[in-house]
Amino acid sequence: MARLLQDPSKLHPSEWYTANQMQRASTESQKSRSECMIAESWRLVDEIEKTTQKTQSDVNKKLEQRREEIKFWKQELDNKLEQIVHETEILLTFKNRLERALEGCKEPLVIAQKCLLYRQRRVGIDLVHDEVEQQLLKEVEVLQGIIALLGRTLEQTNEQIRRNRSAKYDLDMDLKDKFTALTIDDYCAMVLYPEDWIDFTNINVEKADKQRNNTLALKALIDGILSQIANDMRKQCEMVNNAFRNRVKEVKDAKHKLETLLAMVMDETASQEKNIAALKKAITDKEAPVKVAQTRLEARNHRPNVELCYDTVHSSLMSEVQEITKNIQRLKDALAQAQTELKGLSRRQLSLEEEIKVKENTLYIDEVLCMQMRESVCINNY
């Protein structure tokens, strides 16, 4: 009982004081740390807020710069697209001009080839490799060369149109991306680095510029070709036409000379026929005198005895018979020669008539068939 009633052990007042001091010091220390933490937190919040605002401001500026870049390049792409579309449309008209020029060469070529075929129908001495044929062959060569050149140029034009359309497609796709980027405020999210983004657009712009420059050069080339071929075709066509005109004139002159010769031969034939008739008449006319002289001579051969002498009458009669006989032979010789000449004249007449027919055939081919057909040749500026 005594132990139960015994007071528990008590601390010393100094210990109590120390404990209180420690509690106060610990509390004040904790409070001080808390206040520092609060101050640091406010400073940190303020710092982060400022940093965030600065970062957001920088990002906004960069976004705005990127938007401006996108707008700039979008405008560039729009301009290049408009240019390439415009040049492609013009190039399509140039393609049409080439096609019309190519089509326009076919008829002159066919006509030149037909003229060469027609002229193969010339006969005799007129089947000659003359200036007309040389110019026709040159015209065929020129036209075939022009057709080949136009064909190659048309292929080049088609290829350039294809390239222009390819460049247009790239520009369209790039513009679509730019529009999307502007719509979602994203500057080219499809690439990792801004340099790639600029390079990508630059490539499209440069490609469009290259194809536009190629188109301009091709247009100038086509203009030059079309102008040159029109001049060449007109020049060669006129050369052929002049050759035809000169040849027709030559053939007509030759035909006229042949006709003059024929008329002369026919006149000479008529004269020779009259001459033959006169010779025949002369021979006939001399038959009676020679018979009279021969009869007289024969009668005097029957004179009797001494009267049958070679007197002057007998001598004259014999001379007369010999003279008339000789003259008749001379007339017959002249007649034979005249008949030979008449045959020669007849052969010349036939030859001249045949040659005139040859010239008429040549004139029909050159003047009627070829020259009239060539009147339909029309060489336009394409």
352: tokens are 């001249």
Out of 1.10.1330, 1.10.1060, 1.20.1260, 1.10.10, the CATH code matching 64-243 is 1.20.1260
For the cut 50, the answer to whether the pLDDT of residue 115 exceeds it is yes
Q: Which amino acid is at 73?
A: W
d(CA 31, CA 37): 10
pLDDT, residue 193, reads 45
pLDDT band at 206 (very low <50, low <70, confident <90, very high): confident
Tell me the pLDDT of the chain averaged across its residues: 85
d(CA 175, CA 205): 11
d(CA 259, CA 343): 19
pLDDT, residue 61, reads 82
In 3-state terms the chain splits into helix, strand, coil percentages (rounded to 5) of: 90, 0, 10
For the cut 80, the answer to whether the pLDDT of residue 286 exceeds it is no
Of 114-128, 266-280, 296-310, 362-376, give the lowest mean pLDDT range. 296-310
The 10s digit of each residue's pLDDT in 288-317 is 677 766 676 666 666 676 555 666 766 776
Are 349 and 266 spatial neighbours (Cβ–Cβ below 8 Å)?
A: yes
Residues 6 or more apart in contact with residue 91 via CB below 8 angstroms: 157, 160, 161, 164, 215, 218, 219
pLDDT, mean of residues 76-83: 85
Output the 3-class SS for 89-153.
Answer: HHHHHHHHHHHHHHHHHHHHHHHHHHHHHHHCCCCHHHCCCCHHHHHHHHHHHHHHHHHHHHHHH
Rounded to the nearest 5 degrees, what angle is found at the Cα of 380, between the Cα atoms of 379 and 382?
130
For the cut 70, the answer to whether the pLDDT of residue 187 exceeds it is no
Residues 6 or more apart in contact with residue 74 via CB below 8 angstroms: 175, 178, 179, 182
pLDDT, mean of residues 187-207: 60
For the cut 80, the answer to whether the pLDDT of residue 366 exceeds it is yes
pLDDT, residue 189, reads 39
pLDDT, residue 118, reads 95
pLDDT, residue 78, reads 85
d(CA 182, CA 193): 18
User: Distance between alpha carbon 84 and the CA centroid of its chain, in Å?
Assistant: 27
More confident residue, 113 or 53: 113
pLDDT, residue 97, reads 93
pLDDT, mean of residues 323-333: 85
The 10s digit of each residue's pLDDT in 17-67 is 788 888 888 888 888 888 888 888 888 888 888 887 888 778 778 777 877
127: tokens are 């089947």
More confident residue, 70 or 265: 265
What whole-number percentage of the chain has pLDDT above 90? 47
pLDDT, residue 190, reads 40
Backbone conformation region of residue 186, classed left if phi is above 0, alpha if psi is from -120 to 50, else beta: beta
pLDDT, residue 179, reads 72
pLDDT, residue 224, reads 93
Are 197 and 188 spatial neighbours (Cβ–Cβ below 8 Å)?
A: yes
pTM of the model: 0.71
pLDDT, residue 25, reads 83
Closest CA to 220 of 230, 228, 208: 228
Closest CA to 241 of 145, 123, 338, 112: 112
The 10s digit of each residue's pLDDT in 228-258 is 999 999 999 999 999 999 999 999 999 999 9
pLDDT, mean of residues 159-165: 92
